[in-house]
Structure 1
């Protein structure tokens, strides 16, 4: 029976993940999928910490784990190295900053076969990476629709559905032969662009809530802001290469920041624009504090009422500001 199961290649691009790589590898090794039908390819972007040393320690115990060099360091190069070097009929992308439920791989294979679709994914449960109030607010903001919009793999779904992208992804090898590899011009958002290409050729991406991963985001407000700022840049900057990766939910932070800035500037010359500025700010603050209040009630800790608004703001403002910066980078060059 096990010989009838497809051979699976798990590819993991990473760099400087010494804090998470052991926990990640333990979760993949613990998968209920037969070990003789799986390979784990860690594509390391020339880490400067102990990541490589830790992975090599696992390789001594588990021969189905391999480490590959990504001399270019960035994610899309690592993904493409993984795809090219992999042997599996099925390729599953994973993230070293996450852990995976024991049946993650087997569920992916089950649904990929059952629905005969091009890409399968699940939901992520966002877990604080540290036991601090700040780390918890970051996790809450990424799993709440006020922070994540209609990104179903983040906010969850009660039923399976067709979506525009998923976390990671489980692909048949033939998909890469049909539409090509990940775009190496895109330091970030290469997965979104790949999935847009997949859908343009008639492919489908299905999300199943039974497929579960646990994601550990940034633990400080500064690192959280920086992450969102960089994500924002790579929402708009791909336009330089003639690539449109964004959907409406990606542009809402951009509209929020632009409308706030321009209405404030114009209010210096036309007083009516000051009322528009107040309208934008008041409505944003109302929603921000309202959702923060509900979170504080849910967690039975009123401190979240004061910290969540800051975290939500850093999420929205960082992403929006990054999107503006991405457009400026195009114009300046």
Structure 2
């Protein structure tokens, strides 16, 4: 008998990306699967996009109290009772056999926590930003081996793990995947990388998109220290960010120089995000600590 599984998709103001993902998921023929979309307070037609699917497996939930993708994921977890939770970002694509292959690997390896392989997809005639993002990629295996976490865009977790160590830290704007993965590792659960299970994520195609992401990552690094100083250090001195993007020396000269300059610039953006959060960020003490799964 197939295990119960819920695929949680947090989304905010992205009807196009959500349609891209749901169009793939509804093609999956798998018993006892549901696709739980959690709208994080969208002010556009994103909720209507969910309702347009005539599929009983597509469910819509709302998280309007806390603006955080981690809070949205927690809402998805709370509103399902499946044995296994999978997490996918709105705008990603998967093959029709993705879920079956992932669950087979998850069960065969007797994993508690598993990250899948992620490939970045380029647009036609990609500009510098897209080529840079594609080149530096999603090193999920390196994250798991060296930093004990997998990104939440490609993650499978047993419900019992959440019952034991709690949910995602909903105070974080970024870095919640790392913080949760580090808790999973510290609790002694089995972590696995599914090398043969591939998911697809579009590249960020403009410098503005890269800047927005790295600024958010910088803020998240400061928040990790603010809320978890025992693990990540005292705020004031930024830790080395995960996934530092260094150009491959085998690149052509023009791309290597351009990527190196862009990497240096984005490191500065992370620094601005970090110190901006350090100087002006508010402690979200009203949200409490890491929420538990009741």
The two structures have a TM-score, normalised by structure 1, of 0.73
Residues 129, 20 of structure 1: alpha-carbon distance in 2 compared, 3 angstrom cutoff: farther
CA contact (8 A) 1:137 1:307 kept: no
CA distance in 2, matches of 1:91, 1:332: 29
Task: Specify the alignment match of 1:152 in structure 2.
Answer: 140
Q: CA deviation at 1:138?
A: 3.6
Question: Secondary structure of the equivalent of 1:98?
Answer: coil
Q: Does 1:17 align with 2:18?
A: no
Counterpart of 1:104 (choices 94, 98, 101) is: 98
Q: CA deviation at 1:19?
A: 2.6
TM-align CA RMSD: 3.1
1:14-93 superposed matches below 5 A: 14-32=11-29, 34=30, 36-58=31-53, 61-71=54-64, 72-93=66-87
1:1-333 superposed matches below 5 A: 4-32=1-29, 34=30, 36-58=31-53, 61-71=54-64, 72-128=66-122, 131-143=125-137, 151-153=139-141, 164-168=148-152, 169-243=155-229, 251-252=239-240, 291=249, 294-296=250-252, 304-305=255-256, 307-329=258-280
The two structures have a TM-score, normalised by structure 2, of 0.81
CA distance in 1, matches of 2:68, 2:281: 21
Residues 130, 51 of structure 1: alpha-carbon distance in 2 compared, 3 angstrom cutoff: farther
Of 49-58 and 78-87, the range deviating more from structure 2? 49-58
Residue ranges of structure 1 left out of the alignment (5+ in a row) = 257-286
* Higher gyration radius (CA): 1
Question: Secondary structure of the equivalent of 2:15?
Answer: coil
CA distance in 2, matches of 1:331, 1:18: 30
The structure with the greater share of residues assigned to helix is 1
Residue ranges of structure 2 left out of the alignment (5+ in a row) = 285-294
Of 113-122 and 39-48, the range deviating more from structure 2? 113-122
